[in-house]
Amino acid sequence: MNLAEQILALLRAQFPGVREDGLQQLAAAIGLQVETVEEATDIVGKLTADKVGQFVKDWRSKADAEIGKANQTYENRLKEKYDFVEKGKPTDPKPTEPPTDPKGGVTLEQVKQLLSEQLGGLQKSITDISNNRVAETRRGAFVAALDKAKVEGAKREMLLGNYERMTFKDDADFAAFMTSQETQFAALAQEEADKGLLDGGKPIFGAVNKDGISTGVADYIASKQAGGNNALTGKEV
């Protein structure tokens, strides 16, 4: 079970009876802010029934508005394309046979076709909204992994650019991708740490002059020469 499913399970257990689609949206929103199930549990534990109910109510209101807008668009398209007669309005006698001329009326097949087209468009709108939510959640997880590994600069921009061009067939596919990426990010972080150690510079006590003599030995020789003793001797017994 991935993190998104675990968050949804926590919400179901704490807020039974709340609309499933509303809890799914809330789980997606929480998933953008956490990296572990422990963090999610802490956030869910602080939620109240009133806050969750208001969240679901607000989200449902927006979704219903989108559906209403789609229905109104459908109705307007019908009015623009065909001549409808308002209910209760007297009409001139018409032939009993269904009209075939679009300007004279609407056939049953034409209505079926329009209904099919509009319902298909409405379903696509709902699917697009859901896909956008999933894409936002997944991108947030990828960015969080970059932040955790402290990947910055050109490497970060390159990795983000590559991610934007990727697609995933399902949550399992994305989870497998994130597992491999987190391993690579950890390797990048270790590489940067190792590079920092190497760039620290060489210790000065190992420095030598042009004759290959270390600085400490050269200083010793100079001090002996200044004292008039040019020979190096061992310690007197």
pTM of this structure: 0.34
6 Cβ partners below 8 Å, 6+ apart?
Answer: 37, 40
Q: How many CB atoms lie within 10 A of CB 174?
A: 20
Q: Is residue 147 part of a domain?
A: yes
Taking the C-alpha atoms of residue 222 and residue 46, their distance in angstroms, rounded to an integer, is: 75
Q: Is residue 106 part of a domain?
A: yes
Q: Is residue 39 part of a domain?
A: yes
- Number of domains composing the chain: 1
Q: What is the pLDDT of residue 132?
A: 78
Q: What is the pLDDT of residue 205?
A: 47
Q: Is residue 156 part of a domain?
A: yes
pLDDT of the chain, 237 residues: tens digit per residue? 788 888 889 898 989 888 898 888 888 888 888 889 899 899 988 889 899 889 888 888 888 888 888 888 877 777 776 655 555 555 555 555 545 555 555 566 776 677 777 677 666 666 667 677 888 898 989 888 888 888 888 888 888 899 888 888 888 999 999 898 888 888 877 877 777 776 655 554 455 555 656 566 667 667 766 665 545 555 454
Q: Is residue 93 part of a domain?
A: no
Q: What is the pLDDT of residue 72?
A: 81
Q: What is the pLDDT of residue 212?
A: 57
Q: Is residue 206 part of a domain?
A: no
Q: What is the pLDDT of residue 118?
A: 67
Q: Is residue 233 part of a domain?
A: no
Residue numbers of the domain that contains 43: 3-84+99-192
Q: Is residue 197 part of a domain?
A: no
